[in-house]
């Protein structure tokens, strides 16, 4: 099963575009982890054509808040519909059980003992200063955390989070996450 874990960083903020729609933002970078060769790669708007075949061959896309943010933003650049590929949005999975959204940093710190290396506001500032390598490093770190959380959840059936100073465990049903799908065809190609 080919699993692509990814994260997106943007060039701007919602206030800059006067909208709360992620598709109104501009892509800075997308970083991925490809489970087939355990590699990390990054793409900018100029190199997205190299990303499409990778996503089109994925059995699942793993993200943190990807269903709400990353996939709608990336779909604006893609000629098909990435929402047709199986998505495992870890934040959404936790929200469905807990009833509220959690930050990646809160879950990664409690589950893995590792925190994020920055934040989205810093990333936009780095982008604006031309510090693209910093943006890619930060984005790749978020991808690594998301991948590690996914793998932890599959192995253990739960993730942890901090809640008013206490570490709590949240059980997740991961049984379908790695179940084979009937067809590798994703229906995202525009023909």
The answer to whether residue 113 is domain-embedded is: yes
pLDDT, tens digit (0-9, with 9 covering 90-100), for 51-72: 999 999 999 999 999 999 999 9
The answer to whether residue 117 is domain-embedded is: yes
- Cβ contacts of 80 within 8 Å, gap of 6 or more: 56, 186, 187, 188, 189, 190
pLDDT value of residue 165 = 85
3-class secondary structure, 71: helix
pLDDT, tens digit (0-9, with 9 covering 90-100), for 68-93: 999 999 999 999 999 999 999 999 99
Reply yes or no on whether the pLDDT at 191 is more than 50: no
Reply yes or no on whether the pLDDT at 120 is more than 90: no
pLDDT value of residue 67 = 97
Reported as a pLDDT band with limits 50, 70 and 90, residue 115 is: very high
pLDDT, tens digit (0-9, with 9 covering 90-100), for 129-176: 999 999 999 999 999 999 999 999 999 999 999 998 899 999 999 999
Range of the domain at 92: 3-171
Among 9, 2, 7, 92, CA closest to 55: 2
Would you say the C-alpha torsion 16, 40, 191, 87 has a positive or negative sign? negative
The answer to whether residue 177 is domain-embedded is: no
Q: How many domains does the chain have?
A: 1
pLDDT value of residue 189 = 53
pLDDT value of residue 182 = 65
**Residue 107's domain is classified under what CATH number?**
3.30.420.10
Among 42, 85, 91, 87, CA closest to 64: 91
The answer to whether residue 183 is domain-embedded is: no
3-class secondary structure, 42: strand
pLDDT value of residue 56 = 94
The answer to whether residue 186 is domain-embedded is: no
The answer to whether residue 144 is domain-embedded is: yes
């Amino acid at each position: 099963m080919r699993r692509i874990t990814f994260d997106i960083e943007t060039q701007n903020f919602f206030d800059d575009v006067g909208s709360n729609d992620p598709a109104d933002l501009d892509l800075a970078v997308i970083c991925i982890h490809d489970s087939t060769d355990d590699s990390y790669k990054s793409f900018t708007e100029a190199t997205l054509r190299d990303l499409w075949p990778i996503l089109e061959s994925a059995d699942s896309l793993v993200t943190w808040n990807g269903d709400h943010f990353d996939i709608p933003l990336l779909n604006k650049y893609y000629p098909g519909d990435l929402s047709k590929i199986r998505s495992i949005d870890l934040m959404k999975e936790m929200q469905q059980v807990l009833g509220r959204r959690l930050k990646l940093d809160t879950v990664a710190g409690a589950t893995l003992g590792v925190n994020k290396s920055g934040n989205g506001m810093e990333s936009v500032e780095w982008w604006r200063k031309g510090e693209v390598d910093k943006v890619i490093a930060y984005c790749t770190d978020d991808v690594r955390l998301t991948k590690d959380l996914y793998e932890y959840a599959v192995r253990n059936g739960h993730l942890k989070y901090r809640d008013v100073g206490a570490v709590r465990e949240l059980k997740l049903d991961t049984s379908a996450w790695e179940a084979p799908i009937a067809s590798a065809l994703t229906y995202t190609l525009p023909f």
